[in-house]
Chain A
Amino acid sequence: MQVKKYITGLLLFLSIIISSLFFQSCESNDSTLTNNTPASNVPVLQQPENNSTVSTLSPSFNWSGVNSASSYTLQVSESAAFSVLILDVQGITSTLYSPAPNVLNDSSTYYWRVKGVNATDSTDWSSVYGFAVSLESINPTNKVLVELYTNTSCIPCVEANQYLDVINNNTGTTINDLNVIILRVHTTLYAGDPFYLYNQEDNNARMSVYPGTPTSNPRGYLLGAFMSNFSSSAWTNKLNEKLSVTRSFAVNLINTYDPVSRSGNISVKIKQVSGETLSDLVYNVALSESEISYSAPNGETLFENTLRDLITPPSGQTLNISAGQTNSYDHNYNIPAEINHDHAYITVFAQRTNFVSGVKEVMAVERVKIR
């Protein structure tokens, strides 16, 4: 009798589990991170924006791609009619081009346009954008800094790294991928990360800025604010929110670099456009490297925006500034032989050192390619 009772109970239990087979659960599911740029039959110009002022002799020209195009032709002229061409570059296979620093002149106005080309045909010219070059101009931008704390043995970091790689490739994930400046700090979460070991002092310094970064990865910080745990849809919305706001500080960079001696000078101008005077500001000049090949334990093979060195002291350089004031600084630097200077960048950002409402706010950020 007892055995019969037990068997009955067991059958009841199993029947409940099996009934789950027919149980239709209702659950949530989110949209993916895909955000494709709409197809167009002519390129759409992005940067330099129309009627904008750039403070570099080597601005990045960027436009949206055309599906049918295998390459692009870029023209830059001092006249809107393109009667005299300053630049006429054909066969550009990406949607990004930066001219050499000796092509454009300071205090000048230029116009630019792009068309797509394939083996048999070409598109119409895009609309024409005008821009001015003024090295003295220091204008606040909507650029944002994303610091990602990661580790080469960290499996959950792979998704976050891939997400930022997609933005880095300017695929239109956010409302303006080009204004997202990424810096990846490698941590002590797992031992043996070669990018951490390359410069322990500076990686430690950045880890000490945000508690929890040595033991919890990935952790993303947007303009000094923790982005919450990685979620592509939430991160995209957070980036878009900050990308739609102009910073209250501006950073202007002029870089000179001698590839033979592998040394250079970065001239930094920081302007506080508005806001109260802050007593806890520093600025950091960071050297990063992209396109590093390494077979990491977590399966990643290409590393972008990897922090290599802080040219300023590890804890930053004190910045005393108030609204309307512009400060100028010069920093000499050398690029070690093991760093590929063709894929090296200098990123400068001004940041508060104290937490205010849980944020060490980054006031402004700018980045320049070494060469």
Chain B
Amino acid sequence: MIKFTFIVTAIVLYSNLSFGQINLNVDASVSNLLRYGNGYEYSGNIRNAKEYFENLTDARLNVNGVIFGIRYEVSDPIEYGLNFVGIRKRYIEYNHEVGISLRAGDYWETISRGLSLNVFEDRPLGYDTGIDGVRVTYNKTFGKKNPFRLKAQLLGGDIEYSDYLDPDRIERYKVRGAYAEISPLKPITLGLNYIYSTGELPDQDVLTKVTSDVPEVNLSYTTQDFEFYISYAHKSSIISPNSIYTNSLTGLGDGIYSSLSYSFGNVGLTLDYKNYRFDITLPDNRSNTRPTRMLPYQNPPTAIKEHTSVLISRNPHVVDFNDEVGGQIDVAYVPSDKLSFNFNGSIASRHYQYTDTDTTANISYQRTERSGSFLPDLDDPFSPFWEFYLEGEYYASEKIYTKLAFARQSSTLYNQLNPLSSEKLFTSTIPVEFKYSIDEDYTIKFTGETQWVHNSIRISEDKNFTNQYLALSLQRSPNVTLTFSSEFTSDDEEPSGKNSWFLGEATYQINQSNTVGVSYGTERGGLKCTNGICRYVNPFSGFRLSVATQF
């Protein structure tokens, strides 16, 4: 692939520079991010020394419209994943005014809403499904009075996906894709995508080979205040037999996502619906390393709210794209310039319940069919989740801003073998935010959150406990922010054994190009999710430093 990249690079350069008089127009930019941490990480109550040093330098050079990009990375030791020193990313990109865009090297891409392809990087989670290959895009609008828009894209390349639970385990995929999107009338857009991939999933010395097809069709209808979108993707994965999967296995699955949003007056409404069935299987065969599961390069919308509140996001709902149905409603109401409200309600569950039909010690699960499997079910065997969130923001004056919210979450993790011992988690959270501008330079912000939790699998008789989060922040415009935050819990069964955490943070923007951030203290850790990708972040105590530089 590297060789191919260089060939493409040479062709592009030649074609761009060899015609007409050479008139170099050069534009360069460099950004650098240094991250350093030193302290202790807690795994359960085991304390391990933790130190990381990461330096990411992204350079971008634009020569007459040909863009060269490179990322040099020193991650030794890395915070999450495998140590790396060297060139992590490199690409060359060319955009022509006729609407053609060519990129060779590393890139990320999202096709429509991501049901068939959505590869991205999330550095804080140590997650990267970027493609190393080639992407050609043609995007053109014809006509002005009745414009006809066409977008076509071909892409191919390799993905190396490192399992965050087991970073040494790297799944390798070769991906080929073709996408076409047409807009014959201004409000209507129809997209067709096809992804073909071959993958190798390692399991010690055994490789499981997976051949997959993922076609997708999507349709959107958009006007000034109304938008409707629907997408359907089908996945077919064929597993070649090996010592782990002794028979050839074909995993079929699909997913629907639909969204409707419209606004009238000072109200905005959004409805999301998801029905993901990419790998529905029996309870004792569910695994996030199953070769027939949804592919790592797929990442559909989660259709749940992503919160900024520390405590609400402490117990995120982990979307199971292989078996989940549900949706959300989001309403924004802005009665005045100073006052706004947001309501969000979401619901999700598995599609089916299962029963053990074997009367001996063995287990033989059988699915209970239901006609309403296109809707979520709140009965415990479906491991349901629901959430209710209401938020109000009020600008009392130019100096005073307040926010008050209430969230109620309920999630059940069904215990198939011991149903009465299913894990039920109920939380009620009230976040409050108050910001006061003392003068033109200084602003003080207070954030307070209180959460009441009921957890059914706590050992002690008292299964209720509370969490509190308090943060006080002083900002000196435009370049200094000091924050002191603390968190408390009355949970006697907190895995780390602690019941309080304190953290001091300072951010200083030295100039337009350089920003330094330092923190010292203890961090509670926990499950953290972005776009449905979740990882457990261990509690940490110690010192962190980040320096961001932009030239």
Judge whether B492 and A208 touch: CB under 8 Å. Answer: no
- Measured between C-beta atoms, what is the minimum distance from A61 to chain B in Å? 21
CB contacts under 8 Å to A, within B159-212, are 165-166, 168-169, 203-206
Residue from B45, B279, B287, B460 within 8 A of A229 (CB atoms)? B287
Tell me, yes or no, whether A103 is within 8 Å of chain B by CB: no
Tell me, yes or no, whether A171 is within 8 Å of chain B by CB: yes
Residue from B281, B415, B417 within 8 A of A28 (CB atoms)? B281
Judge whether A32 and B282 touch: CB under 8 Å. Answer: yes
A156, A191, A230, A358: residue with the most chain B Cβ atoms closer than 10 Å: A191
With A28-B252, A358-B204 known to touch, is A20 a contact of B264 (CB < 8 Å)? no
Judge whether B421 and A27 touch: CB under 8 Å. Answer: no
- Measured between C-beta atoms, what is the minimum distance from A23 to chain B in Å? 7
- Measured between C-beta atoms, what is the minimum distance from B238 to chain A in Å? 11
Judge whether A359 and B246 touch: CB under 8 Å. Answer: no
* Alpha-carbon separation in the docked complex, A36 to B281 (Å): 21
Query: Which size bracket describes the interface of A in this complex?
Result: 35 or more
Q: List the B side residues contacting A192 at CB < 8 Å.
A: 459-460, 493
Judge whether A215 and B497 touch: CB under 8 Å. Answer: no
Q: List the A side residues contacting B96 at CB < 8 Å.
A: none
Judge whether A28 and B250 touch: CB under 8 Å. Answer: yes
Judge whether A215 and B538 touch: CB under 8 Å. Answer: yes
Tell me, yes or no, whether B290 is within 8 Å of chain A by CB: yes
Which of these binds chain A: B19-27, B331-339, B363-371, B513-521?
Answer: B363-371
With A27-B253, A238-B244, A357-B205 known to touch, is A155 a contact of B286 (CB < 8 Å)? no
Judge whether A237 and B245 touch: CB under 8 Å. Answer: yes
Q: List the B side residues contacting A187 at CB < 8 Å.
A: 44
Judge whether A214 and B285 touch: CB under 8 Å. Answer: no
Judge whether A155 and B423 touch: CB under 8 Å. Answer: yes
Judge whether A155 and B459 touch: CB under 8 Å. Answer: no
* Alpha-carbon separation in the docked complex, A208 to B260 (Å): 50
Q: List the B side residues contacting A300 at CB < 8 Å.
A: 418
Judge whether B284 and A33 touch: CB under 8 Å. Answer: yes
* Alpha-carbon separation in the docked complex, A204 to B47 (Å): 11
Tell me, yes or no, whether A96 is within 8 Å of chain B by CB: no
Residue from B253, B283, B363, B374 within 8 A of A17 (CB atoms)? B374
Tell me, yes or no, whether B360 is within 8 Å of chain A by CB: yes
- Measured between C-beta atoms, what is the minimum distance from A290 to chain B in Å? 15
Tell me, yes or no, whether A34 is within 8 Å of chain B by CB: yes
* Alpha-carbon separation in the docked complex, A226 to B288 (Å): 14
Judge whether B279 and A28 touch: CB under 8 Å. Answer: yes
- Measured between C-beta atoms, what is the minimum distance from B422 to chain A in Å? 7
With A13-B258, A27-B252, A155-B415 known to touch, is A169 a contact of B228 (CB < 8 Å)? no
Judge whether A34 and B287 touch: CB under 8 Å. Answer: no
CB contacts under 8 Å to B, within A145-164, are 152-153, 155-156, 158-159, 162-163
Q: Which residue of the partner chain A has the closest CB to B247?
A: A31
CB contacts under 8 Å to B, within A19-71, are 20-21, 23, 25-30, 32-36
* Alpha-carbon separation in the docked complex, A29 to B365 (Å): 11
CB contacts under 8 Å to A, within B203-238, are 203-206, 221, 223, 226, 228, 230, 234
Tell me, yes or no, whether B46 is within 8 Å of chain A by CB: yes
- Measured between C-beta atoms, what is the minimum distance from B385 to chain A in Å? 15
* Alpha-carbon separation in the docked complex, A163 to B45 (Å): 28
* Alpha-carbon separation in the docked complex, A191 to B498 (Å): 11
Tell me, yes or no, whether B251 is within 8 Å of chain A by CB: yes
Query: Which size bracket describes the interface of B in this complex?
Result: 35 or more
CB contacts under 8 Å to A, within B389-433, are 413-423
Q: List the A side residues contacting B204 at CB < 8 Å.
A: 225-226, 357-359
Q: Which residue of the partner chain A has the closest CB to B372?
A: A21
Residue from A6, A27, A215, A241 within 8 A of B244 (CB atoms)? A241
Q: List the B side residues contacting A25 at CB < 8 Å.
A: 253-254, 277
Q: List the A side residues contacting B458 at CB < 8 Å.
A: 153, 297
Judge whether B362 and A36 touch: CB under 8 Å. Answer: yes
With A153-B459, A155-B422 known to touch, is A28 a contact of B280 (CB < 8 Å)? yes
Q: List the A side residues contacting B495 at CB < 8 Å.
A: 188-191, 215
* Alpha-carbon separation in the docked complex, A161 to B548 (Å): 48
- Measured between C-beta atoms, what is the minimum distance from B244 to chain A in Å? 5
Judge whether A155 and B205 touch: CB under 8 Å. Answer: no
Q: Which residue of the partner chain A has the closest CB to B168?
A: A358
* Alpha-carbon separation in the docked complex, A166 to B361 (Å): 6
Judge whether B252 and A26 touch: CB under 8 Å. Answer: yes
Judge whether B360 and A171 touch: CB under 8 Å. Answer: yes
With A30-B281, A215-B538 known to touch, is A188 a contact of B46 (CB < 8 Å)? yes
Q: Which residue of the partner chain B has the closest CB to A13?
A: B260
Judge whether B264 and A6 touch: CB under 8 Å. Answer: yes
Residue from B252, B256, B358, B418 within 8 A of A298 (CB atoms)? B418
- Measured between C-beta atoms, what is the minimum distance from A278 to chain B in Å? 17
Q: List the A side residues contacting B308 at CB < 8 Å.
A: none
- Measured between C-beta atoms, what is the minimum distance from A214 to chain B in Å? 4
Judge whether B284 and A28 touch: CB under 8 Å. Answer: no
Q: List the B side residues contacting A156 at CB < 8 Å.
A: 413
Judge whether B228 and A358 touch: CB under 8 Å. Answer: no
A30, A190, A225: residue with the most chain B Cβ atoms closer than 10 Å: A30
Tell me, yes or no, whether B43 is within 8 Å of chain A by CB: yes
Q: List the A side residues contacting B386 at CB < 8 Å.
A: none
* Alpha-carbon separation in the docked complex, A17 to B420 (Å): 33
Tell me, yes or no, whether A339 is within 8 Å of chain B by CB: no
Q: List the B side residues contacting A166 at CB < 8 Å.
A: 361-363
Tell me, yes or no, whether B262 is within 8 Å of chain A by CB: yes
Q: List the B side residues contacting A215 at CB < 8 Å.
A: 43-44, 495, 536, 538
> Chain B, 269-313, contact with A by CB distance < 8 Å: what is the 0/1 string?
001010101011111111111101000000000000000000000
CB contacts under 8 Å to B, within A200-228, are 204, 207-208, 212, 214-216, 225-226, 228
> Chain B, 71-107, contact with A by CB distance < 8 Å: what is the 0/1 string?
0000000000000000000000000000000000000
Tell me, yes or no, whether B248 is within 8 Å of chain A by CB: no
Judge whether A32 and B365 touch: CB under 8 Å. Answer: yes
Judge whether B421 and A228 touch: CB under 8 Å. Answer: no
Judge whether A159 and B417 touch: CB under 8 Å. Answer: yes
With A9-B260, A188-B43, A216-B536 known to touch, is A358 a contact of B285 (CB < 8 Å)? no
List the interface of chain B (C-beta within 8 A of A): 43-46, 165-166, 168-169, 203-206, 221, 223, 226, 228, 230, 234, 243-246, 249-254, 256, 258, 260, 262, 264, 271, 273, 275, 277, 279-290, 292, 358, 360-365, 367, 371-372, 374, 413-423, 457-460, 492-495, 497, 536, 538
- Can you show 25 pairs from A to B with CB atoms below 8 A apart? A5-B223, A13-B260, A21-B371, A28-B249, A28-B250, A28-B253, A30-B281, A32-B365, A33-B364, A34-B358, A34-B364, A153-B459, A155-B414, A158-B415, A158-B416, A166-B361, A166-B362, A187-B44, A190-B493, A191-B493, A207-B46, A225-B204, A233-B285, A298-B457, A358-B204
| With A25-B253, A226-B204 already in contact, 10 other A-B pairs whose C-beta atoms are closer than 8 Å | A9-B221, A10-B260, A13-B271, A27-B277, A34-B362, A190-B495, A212-B166, A228-B287, A297-B458, A297-B459
- Cβ-closest 10 pairs across A and B: A299-B418, A188-B44, A299-B421, A20-B374, A214-B44, A28-B251, A191-B493, A231-B287, A13-B260, A229-B287
